[in-house]
Amino acid sequence: VHRENAQKHIAVFAFPFATHAVPLLALVQKLSESAPDFNFSFFNTAQSNQSMFTKGNGFERIEPRSVENGLPEGFRIGRNPHEPVEYFLKATPGNYRSAVAESGLTFDGLITDAFYWFAKEMAEEMRVPWVPYFTAGPRALLAHVDTDNIRARIGINGPEDETLEFLPGFSAIRSGDLPEGTVSGVDSPFATLLQKMGQMLPHASAVAMNSFEEIDPIVVQALKSRLPNLLNIGPFILKCPPPSSSDIHGCLEWLDQHPTSSVTYISFGSVITPPPHELKALAEALEECEFPFLWSFRGNVEEMLPEGFLERTKEKGLIVPWVPQLKVLAHPSVGVFVTHCGWNSVNESIIGGVPMICRAFFGEQKLNQRTVEAVWEFGVAIEGGKFTKNGAMEALKLILSSEKGKLMREKIGVLKKLAFEAMDTDGSSTANFNFLMEFITKL
Ligand code: UDP
């Protein structure tokens, strides 16, 4: 293939669901800023690319390229958020292979979402290094890398309360907290993907992740002994924050009107809407407690929340479809984050120093929840794993108006400081990013 000029070209494969492609694009954006003689092709579904490549700013040498989404003609998104993912996985890796072939380009390196274990083989065929980016935390990664070992030790579908003493740093983690697909639900295509990822990552050239070494030193050490060039480069959002123009609903101004650590902020990320009875229970708890609340709400508020709720809580509640979450969590008025424990949300809560009430749903969220509650001790899992009015009220009171809550705020403050230090000019994440940069520029 003819090379246009002496510039190097990196292919990037994004995973187009949940909050995966956004942090990968942020990484590529920073790499491209630091390496002006590099071009990047960002292979992703057209829909996911459209939502991110809005204004040209900062993306000059990053070309969005489309891969097939695998959806059947006329497909409409229903209640099950996993459905489009399953169709998409059926189309991989063929969709990436054809998109690369159609581009007619020769690449010098391959950076992919870590989920894409098949990229190892493609990188070998292209004779280039493969750098996967894992967008969740170190514990989830260790569970995936050690899946075969964990299955050999505790079996599949065994009791859920067995603790994992044999895994470094996991003595407070029970088998039921492990990511789906590790020891339960092992037959799904997604479980297969995760298992293969765990087997393939030790053969990558380097593994980058959106976390920092000090967050979980024992687990990070265990990972370093299993993976080549493990590079914790986060919380990367501190290096590449979202555009500042996004507070269209005036959340920050609203927060300004409330006392320090008084507001409950609620969000379940970009995919999840809790089931109706849980939404109702949470709403009732919010109504009964005196605390003000800001709710990033997906869906029709009038239909999904109790009748009259909006009217009755208008003095103390603000419900909007989207908030600038990083800034909301960094606002001094926010006292607690009711969250599904997606990794980006956990990172942002740490950056804001805000304790969490956790209601995990799927993927590695339960593991994050258990870690927040039992290892870091700056949050609680919702009692019984699902919202009830009483459970939610108890958790809110515990964090917003008890001594224990204060202690949790102090504990998360310690990790917040470490996160900022890691991203400082002489911090560990900065050193790791520089290593990654050097690795890439040597290609
Ligand atoms: N987010 C946001 N505003 C909202 C809700 C979510 O900016 O109103 C962002 C949040 O800051 C985070 C991401 O969406 O970066 C959610 O990522 P996470 O990994 O927590 O959950 P996922 O979307 O993958 O389920």
Between the CA of 344 and the centroid of ligand 1 the distance, in Å, is 6
Question: Quick one: which atom of ligand 1 is closest to the CA of 329?
Answer: 11
Between the CA of 106 and the centroid of ligand 1 the distance, in Å, is 34
- Tell me which of 113, 146, 177, 216 is the catalytic residue: 113
- Which tokens go with 87? 């169709």
Does the beta carbon of 326 sit less than 6 angstroms from any atom of ligand 1? Answer: yes
Pairing between strand 207-209 and 130-134? parallel
Question: In the annotation, is 177 catalytic?
Answer: no
Give nearest CA residue, ligand 1 atom 14. 269
Question: Quick one: which atom of ligand 1 is closest to the CA of 345?
Answer: 20
Distance from chain centroid for Cα 161: 26
Question: Quick one: which atom of ligand 1 is closest to the CA of 323?
Answer: 8
Question: In the annotation, is 113 catalytic?
Answer: yes
Question: Sign of the C-alpha dihedral, residues 311, 382, 141, 428?
Answer: positive
200 within 8 A of 395, measured Cβ to Cβ: no
Whole-angstrom Cα distance, residue 391 to residue 224? 39
Model pLDDT, residue 54: 79
Which residue bears the tokens 């009964």?
A: 288
Query: In terms of pTM, does the model score above 0.90?
Result: yes
Question: Sign of the C-alpha dihedral, residues 71, 72, 77, 81?
Answer: negative
Between the CA of 235 and the centroid of ligand 1 the distance, in Å, is 14
Does the beta carbon of 26 sit less than 6 angstroms from any atom of ligand 1? Answer: no
Model pLDDT, residue 442: 85
Between the CA of 61 and the centroid of ligand 1 the distance, in Å, is 26
Model pLDDT, residue 2: 43
- Tell me the pLDDT tens digit for each residue of 222-235: 999 999 999 999 99
Question: Quick one: which atom of ligand 1 is closest to the CA of 246?
Answer: 7
- Tell me the pLDDT tens digit for each residue of 71-130: 999 998 887 888 999 999 999 999 999 999 999 999 999 999 999 999 999 999 999 999
- Residue ranges, the chain, pLDDT below 70: 1-6, 55-58, 244-245
Whole-angstrom Cα distance, residue 425 to residue 428? 9
